[in-house]
Structures are given as C-alpha cells and as structure tokens.
Amino acid sequence: MEGNATLFDVARVAGVSLATASRAINGSTRTVGAELRERVLRAARELDYVPNVAARTMKRGHDDVVGLILPDIVDPYFSGLASGVMRAAEEHGLMVSIASTRRRSGKEADYVAGFRRQRNRAIILAGSRTTNQPEAGLLQAEIDRFEAQGGRVVAVSQRKLAVDTIVVENRQGARELATGLSDLGYRDFAVLAGPRDLLSARDRLAGFRTGLAGCGIELAKENIVNSEFDRDGGYEAMAQVLRERGDVDCVFAVNDFMALGAIAAARSHGLDVPRHVAVAGFGDSLSLRDMSPRLTTVRIDSERLGRLALEMVLSAGGEGPRTRREGCQVIFGTSTPGRRRKR
Amino acid sequence: MEGNATLFDVARVAGVSLATASRAINGSTRTVGAELRERVLRAARELDYVPNVAARTMKRGHDDVVGLILPDIVDPYFSGLASGVMRAAEEHGLMVSIASTRRRSGKEADYVAGFRRQRNRAIILAGSRTTNQPEAGLLQAEIDRFEAQGGRVVAVSQRKLAVDTIVVENRQGARELATGLSDLGYRDFAVLAGPRDLLSARDRLAGFRTGLAGCGIELAKENIVNSEFDRDGGYEAMAQVLRERGDVDCVFAVNDFMALGAIAAARSHGLDVPRHVAVAGFGDSLSLRDMSPRLTTVRIDSERLGRLALEMVLSAGGEGPRTRREGCQVIFGTSTPGRRRKR
DNA sequence: CTGTTAGCGCATTCAA
DNA sequence: TTGAATGCGCTAACAG
C-alpha cells in the first residue's frame, strides 16, 4: 500500500461505476443492489480505501467537524463541557476542533472566522458573554457569515447573541444560595464578585443580592469587591475584605477557584474557615469535592451542558434562535456550617 | 454578501487571471508584480474572500489542523497538555482537533484513522502506553498509514511506538521522591500502584522501589495495591491498605487524584493525614495546590510538554524517530512533614 | 437500480 | 511575469 486508493480505483476493482461505488460506500438517497454493494465494500476493504474528506467537503460545503470555542481548557468547568461535547460528537461520528481564547474575548471572532475557513459544520461558543459591545458586534458579524455559509452555531452562556443558546441559570442558583445561607443564620456578607465585565459574574452577584434582599438583608456596596475570576483573584479580593471589612461572617466568591483563594487568604491572615468566617463558591468543581472544609457551592453539570449543546447544534431548527435554560443546584458543605451567635 | 466569493470572483474583479490571483494571495514560487498583487488583495478584501480550505487540502494532501489524542480531557494533566498544544498551535496558525479516548486505549487507533481521513497535518498522541501488545500493533499500523500519507506523529509518554517521542521521566521522579521520603525518616511504605497495565503507573512504582532500595528499604509485595488511576481507585486501594497493613507510615499514590482519594479514605477511617499516616502523590495538579495538607508530589509541567510536542511534530526530521526526555521535580508539602519517632 | 457527466475551488503545469 | 488549461476525489444531477 502506498499513496492512496481512490473511489475510482474501488469502482474499477469492483467493476461498477464511480457513482455506484460512491453510493454504496456513503449511502446516499439512492440505494444500491445488495450484490453490487457487497462487491464495492469488498473492493474498498481490499484496497484499504479511505475516503478523501477534503473532496467530499468541497461538494457538500461543510465537513464533519464541530468547532468548540472556550475561554480556557484548563478550567474544569470548560474541560467538563468539552468532555460532554466530545462524547456526544463521538456518538454522531463527528470530530471536535477546540480553540481556547485564553480569556481574550476578542479572539472569539477570530476563531469563528477560522472555523468558517475550515468549513466546519457547526460551532459551539462556550463561556460568559461580556459587556464589551464593539467586540460583540464583530463576533455577531462573523457568526452571521458562518451561518450564511450553512454552518450552525450554539452558545452556552447568556442570551446575548442572535443564536441558539443554552442559558445557565446563574441568577437562580445564586439566589437560592443566598437564601440558604441566610437560613443558616449568616447576616454580614461580602461578595468576591469577579470581573466587572463578565456577565456570569454579574449574574451571580445580582442573584445573590436578590436572594439576600428577599431575606431582608441588604448588601452594601463596600462589601462587594471585584477581581480576576481565578484563584489569585479570590485571594486578593479576600485580603482586601479582611483588611477593610473585618466583620463579615460569610463570604460568597462567584467562582469556586476564587473561593479557594479566599480560603487561602483567610488562613494566611490567621483565620480559620469556617470557624472565623464562612465561605461559599460557585461551580462545584470536581477536584474540590474532597477539600476540607467541603466547599458550599452551586453545582453546574458542565458535561451535560456540553452534550446538550452538541445535540442542539445538530438539530436543524430554522425558526429563529431557540433558548434552553439549565438550572443549577446548591450544595451545602462544611465551609458554611451555620452561624453561631456572635459574642 | 451571500454564499461566498471564490478566487475566480476575486480574479475577475481584479481583472487578472485565476492563476495570478492564486499566486498573489497564497504566495507561490512565482512572484507577482506589485501593482497586480495590490489589485488582487484589494479585490479580495472587497469581496470578503475566504480561501476554501477543502480545495486547498485536496491539492496539498493535508490541512492545517493537528490532531490531539488523549485519554481524558478532564484530567488536569491532559487539559494542561492540550492548553500547551493549543497555545503553540495558535502561534503557528494551526487549528487543533481533540479526541478523547476516555481511557479506552483501543480507541487510539480509531482516532488516528479518523485524523487520517481528515487529512490532518499531524497527530500528537498523549497518554501512557499500556502493556497491551495487540492493541499497540493496530495503533502502529494506523500510524504508519498516516505517515505514509505525509502526516507527522509525536507521542508523549513512553518510547513504545516507532515515532518521535517526548518521554516523561516518571522513574527518575519517583526515585527522587522515594529518596526524599526516606530522608524524612519514613520506613514503612505502601504504594497505591494504579492499573497493572499502565506503563506510567508501572514506571512510577519501579522508580519508587529503586529509590527505596538505594536507601536500604525493601518494598514488600503485600504493600503494593493496584487499582484504578483516579480518585476512587485511590480511595479503595487505601482502604485496603488500612484494612490489611495498618502499620505503614507513608503511602505513595502514583497519581495525585489517587492520593486525594487515599486521604479521604484515611479520614473516613478516623486517621489524620499527616499525623497518623503521610501521603505523597504524583503530578502536581494545580487545583490541589491549596489543599490542606499541601500534598507532597512530583511536578510535571504538562503545558510545557504540550508545547514541546507541537514544536516537535512540526520540525521535519526524516532520520528515524527522535526521543526527547523531560524530567520532573519533587515538591515537598505538609502531607509528609517527616516522621516522628514511633511509640 | 445503475451509469455518465459536470463541476466544487484551487494550485500548478505548460505556453506565451 | 502572466494566462489558459488541467485535474485533485468526490457527489449529485441527469439520463437510462
């Protein structure tokens, strides 16, 4: 075996026409007689025939690859989502191309353009939308081009683009968390609110505030600290809280890894979690499940989101953007055991 | 703008031939007069021309995508590696397709075949080799086909396939870990050795044993327990150790997540780590850095491995398989503080 | 049900 | 340096 057998070779060996060989192997609308099909398949096997995807793509206008754009593959939320996408893709005989923006949200449009050039069949766009309007415009323009070319697009985040979207109910989750923490007796809260321009972070803050308000607790502006969305951001924000607002009894970090940093910061200030201060996160990262104390958090099943996104992007649907909401569930751990009466 | 402008359209608008347009845009051997080139480029911009990758691939025989095959994208080691690959790929203008075998090592060959059909430019095969010989044969056969077609392949693991390989020095790392633990005064070891057929796990065990032997410590067979390579495997193996060999003072889990499970198992048996038993892992997963106790482990910079792999797979090299060794570094944490004299 | 034929968009040969 | 013509491998009309 050297270069590659082509469909033409297969047809010749099988003694049929090119078209018949194509139909037998690919299975088009037309059917092929059992005997001929058998002959073709046998010839293909003998010749170790491999279809040339590029040629097929040229005809069809798209390939069997779905592109996945995400902010950071190392983040367990997104690697979980990628895992779900890949698993579902395998079931459908699709390949998955992944592009990481590494949190440079402006890169999303570039990667959409890249997938368009590749003639990928569909794109899944994961990760929170931001408040950056000009960027969103460029992204939407690229998406429109991709769709004009016959590609399908699904976003997993907020409903901010004119595409099918799986919306994660950050608000609802944060609201329930707030209520639960209030029930546990906490009253003086601080929120490590993450980046100002990240909608997921904003939604979690907003939901949390709403939940507290429902319990008659107001969240003072001074008790909201912005920072990066990662472990170090949580550390710094918590340090600031401890410096400036020493009297809080519960801290909500809008992301598990920020919560991790917050706990580390508390420790390095000589405070124990949860004895001196309670901490809750958001995301329920698997690798943190064995942490001690077990972090109170809000579970998002990102693998499931990935699977749903792939299914959605494959289901035709021509009648305007669809929205599917996915809830999340509060998990109480030992990091918020309930407040003992103070003093 | 509707369907898509083709190179033909660009040529027409620019008032040149197809060939000239192709040469101006792609930049072939032939050069194009400055003025004509400018005209072509302008026309391309006006028409929002996007090259059809499929057509180009048909001519060239390969595209600008590199395939990455790994056992599990959710494992931080592999998501880190993927991150490195993607980062380097971006610098080279390449896309990355990722396939997860979900630890079904027989799937590797299937995905190599898949990437071959896609006419991908290169494949990076990450993850430990196993002792399964027939599987390895099938995989090698698919790799040979891929290479016969002009593709390049690099493996990151053990040097078991006839391809360029980046070898992770598991043995050396485990050996140094053993020596270090011995220096800390530990004498009675158990090893949670992971799956019997996984070479990485075997190498870590072997290195650890060698290291102990160098310190005059023999590792009894009964103190080696096999299990799955994940958190739950570590939990079960540790439970078995505690049941059957209560007297160990230090446990080495060949993988960080197994160590995590081991610590959880110890706790649920009423034992404190490290007070009652010390635990060490392997891998230095980032998300575990804030764990308490801080896990003693062996650091592998998987992001770097990914970057190196991509560079290697792009560098031509026709003279038989190359091997590059990458070391790893022992990190001591509070999970192995040093042994207090017993009794 | 099967065969013939005409491109898909591009890079590259061969002429000019 | 430029242009005209060819064919990569395949699918989908269009005949039969």
* Residue percentage of chain A with pLDDT more than 70: 97
Least confident range from A287-301, B21-35, B266-280: namely: B21-35
Residues of B in contact with A58 (CB under 8 A): 52, 54-55, 58
Which domains can be identified in chain B, with CATH numbers? 7-56 (1.10.260.40), 61-168+302-327 (3.40.50.2300), 170-299 (3.40.50.2300)
Q: What percent of chain B is predicted at pLDDT more than 70? A: 96
How far apart CA A160 and CA B156 sit, in angstroms, is 40
pLDDT of residue A317: 67
Taking 80 as the threshold, does the pLDDT of residue A28 lie above it?
Answer: no
- Residues in CB range of B91: below 8 A, 6 or more apart: none
- The predicted pLDDT at position B343 comes to 34
Q: Is the CB of A55 under 7 A from strand C?
A: yes
Predicted confidence band of residue B292 (pLDDT cuts 50, 70, 90): confident
Average pLDDT rounded to a whole number, residues A318-335:
91
pLDDT band at B37 (very low <50, low <70, confident <90, very high): confident
Contact state of B76 with A291 under an 8 Å Cβ cutoff: no
CA→C1' distance for A58 and D6 (Å): 18
Question: Over the stretch A241-276, which tens digit does the pLDDT of each residue have?
Answer: 999 987 899 999 999 999 999 999 999 999 999 999
pLDDT digits (tens, 9 = 90+) for B130-154: 999 999 999 999 999 999 888 999 9
CB-to-strand D under 7 Å, chain A 43-62: 49, 51-52, 55-56, 58-60
| Nucleotides on strand C lying under 7 Å from protein C-beta | 1-13
**Nearest-by-Cβ selection for B288 from A86, A113, A287:** A287
pLDDT tens readout for residues A204-241 = 999 999 999 999 999 999 999 999 999 999 999 999 99
Backbone angles phi, psi at A297, to 5 degrees: -160, -175
Q: pLDDT band for position A340 (50/70/90)?
A: low
Across the range B186-193, mean pLDDT stands at: 97
Provide the pLDDT confidence category of residue A2 given band limits of 50, 70 and 90: very low
pLDDT band at B291 (very low <50, low <70, confident <90, very high): confident
Q: Which of A148, A261, A287 sits opposite B2 (nearest CB)?
A: A148
Q: Which nucleotides of D are covered by protein (CB under 7 A)?
A: 1-14
More confident call, A173 vs B23: A173
What's phi and psi for A89, nearest 5 deg? Answer: -60, -40
**Span A154-171, pLDDT tens digits:** 999 999 999 999 999 999
Q: Where residue B25 falls among pLDDT bands split at 50, 70, 90?
A: confident
What token pair was written down for A147? 């769709």
Whether any strand D atom is under 7 angstroms from the Cβ of A28: the reply reads yes
Distance B63 CA to C7 C1' (A): 22
Does the pLDDT value for residue A45 go beyond 60?
Answer: yes
Residue A287 has pLDDT above 80, yes or no: no
CA distance A97 to chain B (A): 4
C-alpha angle B58-B60-B66 in degrees, rounded to nearest 5: 95
Strand C contacts (CB < 7 A) among B residues 46-105?
49, 51-52, 55-56, 58-60
Percentage, residues of chain A above pLDDT 90 = 74
pLDDT tens column, A105-157: 999 999 999 999 999 999 999 999 999 999 999 999 999 989 988 899 999 99
pLDDT tens-digit series, residues B312-326:
999 866 677 999 999
Q: Give the residue with greater pLDDT, B227 vs A26.
A: B227
How many residues would you count in chain A? 343
For B62-121, the pLDDT digits (tens) are 899 999 999 999 999 999 999 999 999 999 999 999 999 999 999 999 999 999 999 999
**Is the backbone peptide bond immediately before B134 cis, with ω within 30 degrees of 0?**
no
> What's residue A3's pLDDT?
54
Q: Do B86 and A100 touch (CB under 8 A)?
A: yes
Q: Which residues of A touch B79 (CB under 8 A)?
A: 73-74, 76, 79
Contact B99 A86 (CB under 8 A): yes
Distances A234 to A192, A246, B221, B275 between C-alpha atoms, Å: 7, 16, 45, 30
**B26-53 burial: b if 16+ Cβ within 10 Å, else e:** eeeeeebeeebbebbbebbeebebbebb
Q: What is the CA radius of gyration of chain A?
A: 26
Q: Is the peptide bond before A76 cis (omega within 30 degrees of 0)?
A: no
State the average pLDDT for chain B: 92
Contacts of A149 in chain B (CB under 8 A): 3-4
Per-residue confidence at A1, pLDDT binned at 50, 70, 90?
A: very low
Whether CB of B322 is under 7 Å from strand D: the answer is no
3-state secondary structure (DSSP) of residue A283: strand
Q: For A61-70, how does the pLDDT look when each residue is reduced to its tens digit (9 = 90+)?
A: 889 999 999 9
Would the pLDDT of A341 be above 60?
no
Rounded to whole angstroms, how far apart are CA atoms B292 and B285?
14
Over residues A283-307, the mean pLDDT reads 90
pLDDT computed for residue B340 by the predictor: 67
State the Cα–Cα distance between residues A73 and A93, nearest whole angstrom: 22
Flag the least confident range among A86-100, B47-61, B170-184, B242-256: B47-61
Closest by Cα among B272, B178, B192, B270 to B235:
B192
- Positive or negative, the Cα torsion across B125, B127, B131, B135? negative
Please compute the mean of the pLDDT values over residues B24-39 and round it to a whole number: 80
Chain B residues whose beta carbon lies within 8 Å of the beta carbon of residue A283: none
For A287, the closest of B52, B72, B285 (CB atoms) is B285
Residues of A in contact with B138 (CB under 8 A): none
pLDDT category, A318, cuts 50, 70, 90?
A: low
DSSP letter for each residue of A116-173? HHTT-SEEEEES--BS-HHHHHHHHHHHHHHHHTT-EEEEEE-S-SSSEEEEE-HHHH
